[in-house]
Structure 1
Amino acid sequence: MRSHVLKAASAALCFSVLFGCGNNGTATTGAPANSTNPTGTTASGAPSTAPSAESSEKVELTFYYPIAVGGPLTTTIENMAKEFTKENPNVTVKPVYTGSYADTAVKTQAGVQSKSPPDVAVLQSTELFSLLDMNAILPLDDYIAKEGSSYLSDFYPAFMANSQTGGKTWSIPFQRSTIVLYYNKQMFKDAGLDPEKPPKTWEEMRDYAKKLTKEGRWGLEIPVTGYGYWMLQTFALQNGKNLMTEDGKKVMFNTPENVEGLQFWNDLSQKDKVMPTGATEWGTVPSDFIQGKTAMMYHTTGNLTNVKTNAKFDFGVTYLPQQKSYGSPTGGGNFYIFKDIDKKKQDAAWKFVKFMTETERAAQWSMDTGYVAVKKSAYETERMKKYAADFPQTLVARDQLQYAAAELSTHNNGRVMKILNDQVQAVLTGTETPADSLKKAQQDADKVLEPYNK
């Protein structure tokens, strides 16, 4: 995998161009994660336990984490780290907020190149091949083997798709998502649409959007900036196949199905006039939805708690409409443990990763943020059952996982993503046709990936 010099050279570029999203939106926090409530559980949801017995040696971990959503999640993360140290007094975790996913990737890359990487980090799951090309991360299979056969099977397979390659597991899912369709139920009623019957197909969505569009309000918004590749992936999956091979060495951008999907997306704004023209900002879309400026939106489920907290109207959440089938790429960040650190730190980092993704904690994290709880068992907890009974929208992204596929992930991933993003944006700003843009994207991506196919 790393036998060619060209591979290593191009890997050095992988982080700094673009790092993507997958799990963006805005979230709120729950109670401080290091407090204990009368039920005997910590506020993060995990059973409170007595501190583990001290050994003679202390370990300090540097933990890089991004905030890909708005809201005071830094406090939540820091309190979870404090709670971990309270239970494991020999391990001190130093959380370092490193900005967006892109910022975190650049800082991590710099650390790897200077032989001073973080000990553990949350990075986008799609950077798997780029991290491997840098020889930066530790395979986790030896740790996983000690946990028993049921450990990995509790994670949703769709989330593991960006975590494994070559028969090994390289990262553990943490803040993960799918893209869903949000819709304003009151606006549906006002337009004569059944608020309990959202659109199920592309054509239904186009028809609904026409009925919902009026002066000062769009029928639909789909974000473009930064995440055009992710949104295009929805249309690709719903109309045929994914955009890349499982080994991350080839992409399939220029196909008739993808041209059709991009044409449909572009027609919604240019022809049907139900969506803004140009490059709609990622962060603008949820704000527009909350403020009543759009009746429907494509966005990450990581935005669910933000909408729930701030929308002053009844809203629905549903699967993305289908063409040939339903489909959504997964998104979000995973935990990685780094190679060029002391073995004691690697062991402590694994303990921290397990702690952060423990069943009750995963359930509470999902409730606090809107991300999908990464473990099946999280949905069997009493707290999640009660929450879902009161707020069934929280289950939509989880249920859509049966139709989900890996997010775009290749070698030299940053450059490949940027190539596709630029071409999608060119179409939606009216400077390229879908056919020409995807042809160019294919040619440029093939050149970038050529060293990995020799």
Structure 2
Amino acid sequence: MNTSSFVLPRRGVLGLAGLGAAGLGLAACSGPSTASSSSGTASASATDWSKVTPADKVTVWTNHPGSSQAVEAEFLNRWNKDNSDIKVEFVTAGSNYDEISQKFQAALTGSDLPDLVLLSDVWWFRYALNGQLAPLQDLLPAAGVDTSNYQKGLYADYQYEGSQWAVPYCRSTPVFYYNKAHWAKAGLPDRGPQTWSEFEEWLPKLQAAGTGAQAPYGLGKGTGNASWIHQNVIWGMGGALSEEWTMTVDSEKVLAASDYLRSYITQGWAAVSSSDQASDFGAGLYSSVIGSTGSLSGILKAANFEVGNAFLPGGPAGQFVPTGGAGFAVPAKRSPEQQLAAATFLAFLAEDDNTAYFSQNTGYMPVTTGAVNSATMQQVYAQTPLFKTAVDQLANTRTQDYARVFVPGGDQSTVTAWEKVMLQGAPSKDAWGTAQAEVEQAYTADVEPLLDA
């Protein structure tokens, strides 16, 4: 299923609900919940934007993804040349997406809210569900945003109940990276494996080639790595962590995918990185890894060998790629004047030249169709052909499973299951059974009541 066809169930309303006791436990260890926090939802969709004058200041909460502080500083320089009537300020709201969400959750109870907040794929939905984000489908055109220019799949990732709740900013997909020197030493063709079965045939050759690597394949851990990336393996085997709101975390095909990756470790073909698998690959510790598109520039800077990259391997059910990263949302509690000013800055960020500039300097995907084919990106493709792999791979993207991105704590529960299997050798049935129970409990307590309200 391509992300362009992403439509969430048209059920329920964006109501508020109390957080159940079970959800409190999950929220404590994994970040914000869907609990009400006096959101003061604004009826942005009913606003006559033609009668609103934008505020004179926009505060943007970001973690500077992809080491983009210099890029965002350049955005301010560009903005100030033609928009002196609105002052824009980037605020470091955390070192990662989770910290931004924690800060945003706390701010919802007071008045110190941003005008734009960067929310990741696993955080935005809970705020939309609670009515804490402003719907954007009318606001964006009023501010001059050409929404048709966004890449359809990336834009549709933020839709629910016929409304738009955020726009893409720093978006990525996983990509297969390999060490060309190690590949040559093992007598492998200069390309990535087309399927996991083909990779399985190649791994013993890499293992026997005397490359000096700690392992032929490096596995990642932690949020943003294990659960996100390994959806590819599950989907390729015909499984899923959930079928819409039916949780299938411990289903037969998920367990099979878990056992399959565990076999890579037991046979010495793979090892789990102690820090970051992409960084370790750049240091030559692994012959191959799957890492984010956003890791490309760092890998190329660190590596003293020629790097290759390719689409993710496919399985019997096909080749599927999850999208990830974050997008900007507008808090519902801001005034119409503040919301319109925020959307005006979003229009600026969505200009093809700015989108291309961000991609060029961070490695994230160009989120507008115009930027993909722009002169800037053509120059990027010519200078760094590896970057275009991820752009071409967008045709194979698939919407992430609800269990991971829409259920509070779902990402952490599935990450923990992967790590129990990979690092501790826990039986897949036990690890994923625990995850299933946690995800079901969180869904029942924190999501289902809102969908049925």
Q: In structure 1, how many angstroms separate the alpha carbons of the residues matched to 2:75 and 2:419?
A: 39
Superposed CA offset, 1:302-344 (max 9, x none): 1111122332221111111111211121000101011111211
Gaps of 5+ in 2: 1-12, 33-51
Indicate the residue corresponding to 1:42 in structure 2. Answer: none
Provide TM-score, normalisation by structure 1: 0.83
1:179 aligns with 2:174: yes
1:220 aligns with 2:198: no
The one-letter code sitting in structure 2 at the alignment partner of 1:259 is: L
The one-letter code sitting in structure 2 at the alignment partner of 1:66 is: N
Q: How does 1:264-279 map to 2 (within 5 A)?
A: 264-270=260-266, 272-277=267-272
Q: Would the aligned equivalents of 2:22 and 2:441 in 1 still touch at CA under 8 Å? A: no
Indicate the residue corresponding to 1:257 in structure 2. Answer: 253
Give the secondary-structure state (helix, strand or coil) at the position aligned to 1:308: helix
The one-letter code sitting in structure 2 at the alignment partner of 1:84 is: W
More displaced stretch, 391-400 vs 57-66: 57-66
1:231 to 224, 229, 232: 229
Q: Would the aligned equivalents of 1:286 and 1:299 in 2 still touch at CA under 8 Å? A: yes
Gaps of 5+ in 1: 21-54
Q: In structure 1, how many angstroms separate the alpha carbons of the residues matched to 2:242 and 2:442?
A: 14
Shift of the 296–375 alpha-carbon distance from structure 1 to 2, 3 Å rule, reads same
1:299 aligns with 2:291: yes
Q: In structure 1, how many angstroms separate the alpha carbons of the residues matched to 2:276 and 2:19?
A: 37
Indicate the residue corresponding to 1:321 in structure 2. Answer: 313
Q: How does 1:32-181 map to 2 (within 5 A)?
A: 59-69=56-66, 71=67, 73-98=68-93, 99-146=95-142, 151-181=146-176
Q: In structure 2, how many angstroms separate the alpha carbons of the residues matched to 1:17 and 1:354?
A: 36
Q: Would the aligned equivalents of 2:15 and 2:129 in 1 still touch at CA under 8 Å? A: no
1:386 to 379, 389, 405: 379
Q: In structure 2, how many angstroms separate the alpha carbons of the residues matched to 1:308 and 1:126?
A: 28
Shift of the 288–97 alpha-carbon distance from structure 1 to 2, 3 Å rule, reads same
RMSD over equivalenced CA pairs, Å: 2.7
Shift of the 443–58 alpha-carbon distance from structure 1 to 2, 3 Å rule, reads closer
- Residue 161 of structure 1: how far off its partner (Å): 3.8
- Residue 199 of structure 1: how far off its partner (Å): 0.8
- Residue 396 of structure 1: how far off its partner (Å): 1.2
2:415 to 421, 426, 429: 421
Give the secondary-structure state (helix, strand or coil) at the position aligned to 1:276: strand
Give the secondary-structure state (helix, strand or coil) at the position aligned to 1:141: coil
Q: In structure 2, how many angstroms separate the alpha carbons of the residues matched to 1:3 and 1:9?
A: 19
Q: In structure 2, how many angstroms separate the alpha carbons of the residues matched to 1:13 and 1:375?
A: 39
Indicate the residue corresponding to 2:200 in structure 1. Answer: 206
Q: Would the aligned equivalents of 2:167 and 2:327 in 1 still touch at CA under 8 Å? A: yes
Shift of the 18–160 alpha-carbon distance from structure 1 to 2, 3 Å rule, reads farther
Q: In structure 2, how many angstroms separate the alpha carbons of the residues matched to 1:291 and 1:57?
A: 49
Q: Would the aligned equivalents of 2:233 and 2:257 in 1 still touch at CA under 8 Å? A: yes
Q: In structure 1, how many angstroms separate the alpha carbons of the residues matched to 2:132 and 2:15?
A: 15
Q: In structure 2, how many angstroms separate the alpha carbons of the residues matched to 1:353 and 1:390?
A: 29
Give the secondary-structure state (helix, strand or coil) at the position aligned to 1:307: helix
Indicate the residue corresponding to 2:183 in structure 1. Answer: 188
Counting aligned pairs with the same residue, the percent is 21
Q: In structure 1, how many angstroms separate the alpha carbons of the residues matched to 2:345 and 2:22?
A: 32
Q: How does 1:9-48 map to 2 (within 5 A)?
A: 17-18=29-30
Shift of the 269–262 alpha-carbon distance from structure 1 to 2, 3 Å rule, reads same
Provide TM-score, normalisation by structure 2: 0.83
Superposed CA offset, 1:134-169 (max 9, x none): 321100011244478x93332223313421111111
Q: Would the aligned equivalents of 2:240 and 2:254 in 1 still touch at CA under 8 Å? A: no
More displaced stretch, 81-90 vs 216-225: 81-90
Q: In structure 1, how many angstroms separate the alpha carbons of the residues matched to 2:21 and 2:350?
A: 34
Q: Would the aligned equivalents of 1:2 and 1:133 in 2 still touch at CA under 8 Å? A: yes
The one-letter code sitting in structure 2 at the alignment partner of 1:198 is: G
Give the secondary-structure state (helix, strand or coil) at the position aligned to 2:309: strand
Shift of the 56–309 alpha-carbon distance from structure 1 to 2, 3 Å rule, reads same
Shift of the 351–8 alpha-carbon distance from structure 1 to 2, 3 Å rule, reads farther
Q: In structure 2, how many angstroms separate the alpha carbons of the residues matched to 1:9 and 1:398?
A: 43
Q: In structure 2, how many angstroms separate the alpha carbons of the residues matched to 1:62 and 1:4?
A: 26
Q: In structure 1, how many angstroms separate the alpha carbons of the residues matched to 2:311 and 2:110?
A: 44
More displaced stretch, 296-305 vs 353-362: 353-362
Superposed CA offset, 1:28-85 (max 9, x none): xxxxxxxxxxxxxxxxxxxxxxxxxxx998612211001344x4x2222133134223
1:330 to 323, 326, 350: 323
More displaced stretch, 349-358 vs 424-433: 424-433
Shift of the 134–81 alpha-carbon distance from structure 1 to 2, 3 Å rule, reads farther
